[in-house]
Amino acid sequence: MPRYFFHVEDGAIHADAEGMELSGLDAAREHAVCYFAELLRDTPRAFWGRGEWLMRVTDAAGLVFFTLHFVAINAAAGGGASRHA
């Protein structure tokens, strides 16, 4: 089974040195969304103060398969039109 690495940037870089063996790219996509949902659920206040959050999913050689981006943009009614994540 291929091993995928889930590197997170949330104002700091969190490299995944261990990775996870999964059945394929579809399983890696599902894991990435669930993992990112956990991060957002566990630290919702941090999300609003650190700019864009992203996750790059790679193989052991660093080949990027896909990237997830999470960005929040305040509308005027929500406190301005500034971009936050």
| DSSP string computed for the chain | --EEEEEEESSSEE--SS-EE-SSHHHHHHHHHHHHHHHHHH-HHHHTTSS-EEEEEE-TT--EEEEEEE-EE--GGGT-S-EE-
**Which pLDDT belongs to residue 46?**
76
**Which pLDDT belongs to residue 76?**
76
Residues 6+ apart with CB under 8 A from 70: 36, 40, 47, 52, 53, 54, 85
**Which pLDDT belongs to residue 27?**
98
**Which pLDDT belongs to residue 40?**
87
26-73 pLDDT per residue, tens = 999 999 999 999 988 988 777 776 678 999 999 999 999 999 999 877
3-26 pLDDT per residue, tens = 999 999 988 899 999 999 999 999
